[in-house]
Chains A and B, each alone.
Chain A
């Protein structure tokens, strides 16, 4: 296992998600930035659904109690093993007692730490993804011991890759949502012509945007939402549902992000700007 010496700002265990219970109100959860998590897992030749650590904004300090191979991908928060710095998107070997720590966030918002064989924590309803109210914890805490299977010998097919990084992308590809047609002309023009800024209120459930569009009186009956659904509140505020977002809601669903754009948005933080592009 590895031991949590410091938890960081908000660090969770995530896998590909918890499926089959959306009709009981259970969101899928899972990696916010699927793309980065998959890069880290694939470098280690893990299964695409293996559990990783999702590290938000500031990194934890972790000590390994058995040999392992790890890979980091996603946000740039310069990591080191003991004092030796290690790059993102590269397989690294760690020895018993090694300490992994992270520097200041440089780019993006969420970093992924994958470990050869995947994190072996307990599954709840078929998934290791943390989700408040289903799992005991909603984040890792000081002193946690996180299990994995030790690996002494591993010869990766590819030891590092250069990724066509999505961290700096600002354009989110969207399709029109079910209630889009209820918007007036001014609102639709504004949606596709202006930049929107990420508000302070953003987390695994939803990202709120600072700029408002026109208020509206569209009323609808509660219906199902998806990760990536852009909801419009009566005051004109935009809320983009993310992986832990509520499964149903009563706000008009005006846009729908595609899968790749959810990963792009997952790397945004307060003050960053995005644009909607219709595909």
Chain B
């Protein structure tokens, strides 16, 4: 546990990408959020093997807080973590959206349909949210889909693009520059500014993709716009 500037604490776990570490962090995070720290003053940012606690004001007595945090951690250590959501998200892999799908297929020596199978098979874990509002760092990509990011990033990757880069897969929540290989598009917005809770996904949730055709894509897009699309989700034990 380290003081990080004058306003934050960094708590670190062993440097591994491991679900049990993530869920230990999340149990601690939830405990702090619901019982110990004033939400108006503190923001808690968990990711992979770390938790950063950021105060809006200067931390007056860091040594005392450090002791207190340790005690709070011991309250929950080993406790069964809270239940998580598993979200099923549709992806249209049509060439119109999956602009790199053919190139990826050639590079990996797989057919496009095999790539779609490999991409929709796993249940991914959300290890963090950052980079852009609503951008999920997903763990659990099939080894066969590991491909380097593009040498020259695109200036504009469309919103909803689903990409591959290294050991990662993810969705661009907004249009942005980016170097990932784009294989499809998800019509469901991950981040919606007009909602009071703008991002339905939490760190620790699970994500599964399923393929849809172009007609379903258009339908879901319209249903989302008028607010009647219901994202398929179930509560899962972790």
Contacts and interface: CB of A to CB of B under 8 A. Distances in A.
Interface of A: 19-26, 124-125, 133-135, 175, 177-178, 220-224, 226, 228-229, 246-249, 253, 256-259
A226 B15 CA distance: 20
Given A223-B48, A226-B4, A256-B5, A20 B10 contact: no
Contacts of B3: 175
Given A22-B54, A23-B129, A246-B131, A221 B49 contact: yes
A20 B42 CA distance: 8
Given A125-B198, A247-B45, A248-B45, A25 B5 contact: no
20 contacts: A19-B56, A21-B198, A22-B54, A23-B44, A24-B134, A24-B198, A25-B131, A25-B173, A25-B199, A124-B193, A125-B193, A133-B176, A220-B15, A223-B47, A224-B45, A224-B47, A246-B132, A248-B131, A253-B4, A258-B5
B193 A177 contact: no
Given A124-B193, A125-B193, A21 B4 contact: no
B2 A178 contact: yes
Contacts of B17: 221
A133 B176 CA distance: 9
B46 A25 contact: no
A20 B198 contact: no
Given A19-B43, A220-B15, A256-B4, A25 B48 contact: no
Given A133-B175, A247-B131, 7 more contacts: A21-B198, A24-B129, A25-B130, A177-B5, A223-B48, A253-B4, A258-B6
B48 A224 contact: no
Nearest to B203: A23
Contact of A248 (B10, B49, B128, B176): B128
Contacts of A25: 129-135, 173, 191, 199
A21 B48 contact: no
Contacts of A249: 130-131
> What is the size category of the interface that chain B forms with chain A?
35 or more
A178 B51 CA distance: 12
Interface string B121-139: 0000001111111110100
A248 B56 contact: no
Contact of A226 (B5, B12, B50, B128): B5
Given A21-B198, A125-B193, A222 B130 contact: yes
B39 A246 contact: no
Contacts of A24: 129, 133-134, 191, 198-199
A112 B44 CA distance: 31
B31 interface: no
A135 to B, nearest CB: 8
A223 B52 contact: yes
Contact of B50 (A19, A221, A228, A229): A221
A-B CB proximity, top 3 nearest: A248-B130, A256-B5, A224-B52
B8 interface: yes
